Chains A and B, each alone.
Chain A
Amino acid sequence: MDLDLAEAFRNYEDKIVNKWVDYTLSSYKSSVFFKKSPDKFSNPVGGNTREALSALFKLLAKNADPTEFAAPLEQIMRIRSIQEFTASEAAGPVFAVKHITRALFEKDSERKHLISELYDFEFAVDLAALQAFDLYMQCREQLYLVRIKEIKTGTYILTDSRCPSNLLKKDTGTPANFPV
């Protein structure tokens, strides 16, 4: 990688990550606290988002192997996948780092010329975003499996299945083929 570009990423890392975190957390209806509190335990959404995006930016900036993106992406997508977001809303903020980086370089006359060298970085962001969509789907599927497991092992078997005492009740339209 161009040494100037690497230096620019290092120099702007904090600013880019801060803006990226800010943008991502703005997707919540009330985000002031999420942005403010640094404690990951009293502020799980804000803390994990910051931790994950900080780690992800380092990987993107050094053109790391895309398989390494999975861990920080999962940290953030596992949360966003079960919140009230559509798939594009959940994964969308991943793309934002491209625009944030360009905007910052644009304003810096000494680094403006580096914009034309951002292809690899932006391609890495695209790959990360694709992974984010996959993770969104994986988490959704896992959520449904958790639900199915709970139904199969839960009280439903005792209350709504065809146990002898239930056969005495009038048919209330419960599924007939439930294995007992």
Chain B
Amino acid sequence: MALAKLEQLSKSVVQGPSLSTGAVPAKDWMDTPAIFKEGNFAYPAKQEKVEYLDSQDGIDFPNARIWSPDEDDWKLPENWQEIILKGLAERLEKFRSLKIFMDCCVRCGACADKCHFFLGTGDPKNMPVLRAELLRSVYRNDFTLAGKLFGKMAGGREMTVGVLKEWFMYSYQCTECRRCSVFCPYGIDTAEITMMLRELLHLVGIGINWILEPASNSNRTGNHMGLQPHTFKDNVDFLAEDVEALTGVKVNHSFNRKGAEVLFITPSADVFAEPGLYTAMGYLALFEQIGLDYTWSTYASEGGNFGLFTNNELMKKLNGKMYAEAKRLGVKYIIGGECGHMWRVVHQYMDTMNGPADFMEVPKSSITGTVFDNAKSSKMIHISEFTADLIKHGKIKLDPSRNANVLPTFHDSCNPARAMGLLDEPRYILDHVVPKWHEMPENTIREQTFCCGSGTGLNTDEIMELRMRGGLPRANAVKHVIEKHGVNMLSTVCAIDRATLTSLMDYWNPGCGVCGLSELVGNALVMDNEKRAMGYGADGTESELPDGLRTML
């Protein structure tokens, strides 16, 4: 009797497609269609943005139009199937890695439970193996003998509108974080499969605005925000004034200066949005203190490269701006700020796309004499490598007690951690700039770090629920150190992280702040001839401002 009631309870709440009554989905994954509804898809790119990008030399974004994922008719070009299959054939020919990734997966399942989107949704198509299968099934059907002969029996699947819709849904429920790749015994880079899916979708005019608008802005004015050179300069100037107001030290920075030793490039969010602003103030204070001969650029005013999330041609073009500017200014090397995917582009694609950058020198710190052989080819080093080296050689004086109100943990940003191996330098810096900090559980940090859930251009507000699901594994680990150690700050080295982890904390762990690592460096930095602004406590005693660079003066 009671059991019958339990079944009835299940039935009475089984209304949507997501609640099944058993462990095994009722239908085969191939027969379960993608259903779009407000909240589970990012808005499509504005027609004018696609048209603008398509009008640029060397990049193609054809079939611009007004369409919406939640309408049945996506207004695809008549020969869309032919375009996709031809595009796939070209890419199999051009990218040897893609061909290998299509063939060598044995479906062992090691990746299946490693994806933050799978862990947050329970949707089997978010298992990396199955997400890749969305493309692989079409590959098998049209490009392998077994597939041509046996079709579905050999795991093949015809390219239909339904399949295309699945591609769109699940290639935009992947942040290309590459956690799954860490566990793949064959080293399949599942992020590159997502990249191919997105490239193919762009061929038929399917893309999202949150990626294409910043990418077109970057192409036009040099940064994601689309802000013009004078605005960029004004904002950095404002931040320099703020540093002076707080430390009493005048900051001498420059823009587009030929002959500078170093070109500094950082995500534009560092210059325009909280809490990145404080990180930028940290850079300004640090460079001033050590007397670095460096320049900002209003042409290469964006470290981020949303081209990575569209296609290889646009990625190459946007990355090329950094190197063109380095060449024009005649700098010796580039220091890159706290950015995530910029480092994936620089470390893994730059050399093939725009290298070798042999007009520059192997980065050598003029302060410590350290040669950064690891960046021999890219000529670009990470601000954390540079700062850790300064600390190691005792070249800067730090007072961790100035960060006494902060008890941080550290979130390894996916790309610096997994794409460039930046694991120990940020931790070494933290050891020196705060009195104490705590690690999150072992299987959620370093190479195994969980994504913020909003990378690869998914940091748009219309998919907030999806972002909260994708960010659950990360937030869950933060919650643990909050409850266990009283952590109150999530520090990181990525601009997208700083923005999106703020929302993630606001939902999952309200009260936990988010900051860039260089902000903590700037707070702890003891500058020559400093005269720090003082505040008065409730009891009237004078003391240093506890909020450091965040103090509004």
Which residues of A does B touch, CB under 8 Å? 23, 26-35, 37, 39-45, 48, 78-79, 82-86, 88-89, 92, 95-96, 99-100, 102-103, 106, 139, 142-143, 145-147, 149-151, 153-155, 158-159, 165
Query: A112 to B22, alpha carbons, bound, how many Å?
Result: 28
| Inter-subunit contact B507/A142 (CB<8 Å) | yes
- A128 → B minimal CB distance (Å): 15
Asked whether B2 lies within 8 Å of A103 as measured between CB atoms, the reply is yes
| Structural contact, A155 and B225, CB atoms closer than 8 A | yes
A48 neighbours in B (Cβ, 8 Å): 476
Give B449-474 as 1s and 0s: 1 = Cβ < 8 Å from A's Cβ atoms. 00000000000010011001100110
- A45 with B1, Cβ < 8 A, contacts A85-B19, A146-B464, A165-B231 known: no
Contact (Cβ within 8 A) A44 B473: yes
A34 cross-chain contacts in B, Cβ below 8 A: 122
Contacts of B22 in A (CB 8 A): 26
Decide if B250 is an interface residue (CB 8 Å cutoff).
no
How distant is the Cα of A159 from the Cα of B214 in the complex, in angstroms?
Answer: 10
Give the one of B5, B119, B231 with max A CB within 10 A: B119
Establish whether residues B3 and A28, one from each chain, have CB atoms under 8 Å apart when the complex forms: no
Given contacts A154-B273, A154-B461, whether A143 and B23 have CB atoms under 8 Å apart is no
Contact A37 B113 (CB under 8 A): yes
- Contact between chains at B127 and A143 (CB < 8 Å): no
Can you add 13 more A-B contacts, CB < 8 Å, to A155-B272, A158-B272? A29-B124, A43-B113, A44-B472, A44-B473, A79-B472, A82-B468, A84-B17, A86-B15, A89-B16, A89-B19, A100-B2, A103-B6, A142-B507
Listed A/B pairs (17) with beta-carbon separation below 8 Å: A30-B118, A43-B119, A44-B473, A48-B476, A82-B469, A83-B18, A83-B122, A85-B18, A100-B2, A102-B1, A102-B2, A143-B465, A143-B507, A146-B464, A147-B464, A151-B461, A155-B224
Contact B2 A99 (CB under 8 A): yes
Of all chain A residues, the one with the shortest Cβ separation from B1 is A106
A141 to chain B minimum Cβ distance, whole angstroms, is: 11
Q: Which of B17, B19, B477, B506 contacts A146 (CB 8 A)?
A: B506
A39-B114 Cα distance, complex, nearest whole Å: 13
Instruction: Find out whether the CB atom of B122 lies under 8 angstroms from the CB atom of A44.
Output: no
**Which of A43, A45, A88, A155 has most B Cβ within 10 Å?**
A155
**For A150, what are the chain B residues with a Cβ–Cβ distance below 8 Å?**
461, 464, 502-503
Do the beta carbons of A30 and B2 come within 8 Å of each other?
no
Among B3-37, those with CB < 8 Å from A are 3, 5-6, 9, 12-23, 25
Residue of A nearest to B474 (CB): A44
Residue in contact with A158 in the complex, picked from B1, B227, B468, CB distance below 8 Å: B227
The contact of B6 among A28, A79, A96, by CB within 8 Å, is A96
Q: Which residues of A contact B508 (CB under 8 A)?
A: 78
User: Which residues on A sit within 8 Å (CB–CB) of B444?
Assistant: 41
Instruction: Report A164 CB to chain B, min CB distance, Å.
Output: 9
CB distance from B434 to the nearest CB of A (A): 24
The answer to whether A103 and B3 have CB atoms under 8 Å apart is yes
B3 close to A99 (CB less than 8 A): yes
A84 with B40: CB separation less than 8 A: yes
Given the contacts A29-B18, A158-B272, A41 and B40 also touching, CB distance less than 8 Å? no
B226: A residues at CB distance < 8 A = 159
Q: How far is the CA of A78 from the CA of B124 in the complex (A)?
A: 22
Question: Assuming the A-B contacts A35-B23, A78-B508, A82-B468, are A28 and B122 also in contact, with contact meaning beta carbons closer than 8 angstroms in the complex?
Answer: yes
How far apart sit A96 and B11, CA to CA, in the bound complex (Å)? 12
User: Shortest beta-carbon distance, B125 to chain A, in Å?
Assistant: 9
Chain B residues with Cβ under 8 A from A153's Cβ? 273-274
- Taking a contact as CB atoms under 8 Å apart, the answer to whether A146 and B507 are in contact is yes
Given the contacts A30-B25, A155-B225, A44 and B119 also touching, CB distance less than 8 Å: yes
Q: Contact at A45–B122, with CB atoms within 8 Å?
A: yes
With the chains together, A145 CA to B461 CA distance in Å? Answer: 11
Q: Which of A31, A45, A146 contacts B120 (CB 8 A)?
A: A45
> By the criterion CB–CB under 8 Å, are B461 and A147 in contact?
yes
Q: Shortest 5 CB-CB distances between A and B: which pairs?
A: A28-B122, A30-B124, A102-B2, A92-B13, A103-B2
Q: Please name all residues of chain A whose beta carbon is closer than 8 Å to the beta carbon of B468 when the two chains form the complex.
A: 82, 143
In the bound assembly, the distance between CA atoms of A84 and B41 in angstroms comes to 13
Residues of B within 8 A of A (CB): 1-3, 5-6, 9, 12-23, 25, 40, 112-113, 118-124, 127, 213, 217, 224-228, 231, 269, 272-274, 441, 443-444, 461, 464-465, 468-469, 472-473, 476-477, 480, 499, 502-503, 506-508
CB-CB under 8 A from B19, the residues of chain A are: 27, 85, 89
CB distance from B273 to the nearest CB of A (A): 7
In the complex, A34 Cα to B121 Cα: how many Å? Answer: 11
Q: Which residues of B contact A86 (CB under 8 A)?
A: 13, 15-16
Residues A149 and B3 in contact, CB atoms below 8 Å apart: no
Contact yes or no, A106 B2, CB < 8 A: yes
Task: Known A82-B468, A99-B9, A158-B225; judge A31-B476 contact (CB<8 A).
Answer: no
- Please report the C-alpha to C-alpha distance between residue A41 and residue B3 in the assembled complex, in whole angstroms: 33
B16 → chain A closest CB, angstroms: 6
B21-A154 in contact (CB<8A) = no
Known A-B contacts A26-B23, A154-B461; A159 and B499 likewise in contact (beta carbons under 8 Å): no
Contacts of A35 in B (CB 8 A): 23
Partner of A82, one of B14, B217, B274, B465: B465
Determine the chain A residues whose CB is within 8 A of the CB of B506 once the complex forms: 142, 145-146, 149
User: Is there contact, CB below 8 Å, between A41 and B23?
Assistant: no
B9/A96 in contact, CB under 8 A: yes
Question: Closest chain A residue to B226 by CB distance?
Answer: A159
Q: Are A146 and B2 in contact (CB under 8 A)?
A: no
CA distance A102 to B3 in the complex (A): 9
- Residue of B at shortest CB range from A156? B461
Q: How far is the CB of A168 from chain B (nearest CB, A)?
A: 11
- Complex Cα gap A41–B476 (Å): 7
Q: Say whether B20 contacts A29, CB under 8 Å.
A: yes
Query: CA–CA, A99 to B9, complex, Å?
Result: 9
Complexed CA–CA distance, A158 and B480 (Å)? 36
Docked complex Cα distance between A100 and B7 (Å): 11
Expressed in whole angstroms, the Cα–Cα distance for A153 and B522 within the complex equals 23
Q: Closest Cβ of chain B: how far from A28's Cβ, in Å?
A: 3
Cβ of A165: which chain B residues have Cβ within 8 Å of it? 227-228, 231
The chain A residue sitting closest to B127, CB to CB, is: A30
User: Are A40 and B476 within 8 A (Cβ)?
Assistant: yes
Shortest distance between the CB of A10 and any CB in chain B (Å): 20
A147 neighbours in B (Cβ, 8 Å): 461, 464, 503
A41 cross-chain contacts in B, Cβ below 8 A: 441, 443-444, 473, 476-477, 480
Residues on the B chain within 8 Å of A142, using CB = 506-507
Residue of A nearest to B112 (CB): A33
A47 to chain B: closest CB distance in Å? Answer: 8
